[in-house]
Amino acid sequence: MDILAAHAAGHPDKAALIEGDRVWSWAELVERRNRLGHALLGLGLEPGSTVIVYAANSLEHCLAGTGARAAGLIPAPMNHRLVAEEVAYILDHSDAAAVFASDQFLPLCEAVRAGARKVRHWILMGAERRPWALHLDDLLAQGSPEPVELPAGAAFGASIIYTGGTTGKPKGALRRGIDPQGLMETLRAMDLLDPNHIHLVAGPMYHSAPGGLALYAHIVGATVVIMPRFDPERALEEIQRHRCTSTFMAPTLLKRIVDLPASVRARYDVSSMRAIIMAAAPCPMSVKEAVVEYFGPALYEFYGSSELGVNTVLRPEDVLRKPGSCGRAAPGKEIALLDDDGKPVPVGEPGELYVSSSPASSTSTTRIPTRPPGCAAGTGTRWATSRTWTPTASTTSVTASAT
């Protein structure tokens, strides 16, 4: 089923994407997506190939990923902070067949282009043109507005997310597709299933959470508002202007908001906000308290990973009640805390966190295809042998009570 086309048919004039004064309706988004999907296939790109999206937050960034998926391609967002050597490595490691690039990244593209021999097509998305590159506008003009017929069995929502590479070269986490049931349960756990949501993209879309939650908002039929770059007061302006109801923000972004003078924060009506999703780093309790005081009981926190997405969820009623907690296991996930010998640790003792998920939905360079050592059947916990167990490189502990 073409979910986005169904939304376009059901409410064609409803806003799907907003960036500043630019608005694309659902009908406009899906037509552009179809045109781009056909044009990409017309270039000879084969379903399952990787395309890099090296772009700032924008309508075009979203369109590049959406159009690539329509053609059965796998989009991979490129971190804006990488140097030329790292960009070249990811282009080679991902076997990228095409690169979407916005103007600000043209200098780096030109620096690595000669060595990026696997890249067959460079596609520019801004005002600049180059003789060696195609342009998004031309592809949209060439492509058919009719739906793209994907090959049988093609997975929806496949993507590759690269880690930051802080402990070595970046690692690519390939998500082969979206498990619809698991996704719906996870979104329900964070109050993100409402198609009437107006979702604010505040962080860079090359990170898995801002980009992923924008995609998921579209899957449920919500409107997505994109900030080209984060500014704390501008975020409050966007929330008030569009009556935004959900967003993802890392702790640093939330801290910048609550650190604004009280007189500045008082200018804006943020009462529409129902779900602020936070992750990516530990958050001081003082920041959580200030966020709850300003926005009300809307703060959700999750612990996630590039490989598996959302692993645990801490709901608003527990954010202040359970200091230091990262919540309960997310729907469809199982948690194991193991010591250095691979054995489960006692309650209250720290251990390395392992998370299980269906191997059909995620595979990466760090996956473990069996149950972890010490978690054999019959230990009182049901460890499913058909699931993938992934170490997260995080240390945590479990409390004696889940209430």
pLDDT for 274-285, tens place per residue? 999 999 888 999
> Could you tell me if 395 and 352 are in contact, meaning their C-beta atoms sit under 8 angstroms apart?
yes
Q: Does domain 3-175 have CATH number 3.40.50.980?
A: yes
Cβ atoms of 76 and 52 within 8 Å: the answer is: yes
Separation of alpha carbons 310 and 49, rounded Å: 26
Q: How do residues 127-145 score in pLDDT, each as one tens digit?
A: 999 999 999 999 999 999 9
| Mean per-residue pLDDT, 158-165 | 76
Residue 370: predicted pLDDT: 37
pLDDT band at 150 (very low <50, low <70, confident <90, very high): confident
pTM reported for the whole predicted model: 0.88
Percentage of residues in the chain with pLDDT exceeding 90? 66
Q: How many CB atoms lie within 10 A of CB 199?
A: 25
Residue type, 200: L
Alpha-helical segments (H) within 143-225: 180-189, 208-219
Q: Where are the alpha helices (DSSP H) in 162-228?
A: 180-189, 208-219
Q: Domain ranges for the chain, please list them.
A: 3-175, 334-403
- Is 334 strand, coil or helix? strand
Phi, psi dihedrals of residue 57, rounded to the nearest 5°: -55, 125
Rounded Cα distance, 136 and 140, in Å: 6
What's the token pair of residue 224? 């997505």
* 363 DSSP β-pair partners: 174
pLDDT in tens, 173-210: 787 767 788 889 999 999 999 999 999 999 999 998 99
Residue 234 has pLDDT above 60, yes or no: yes
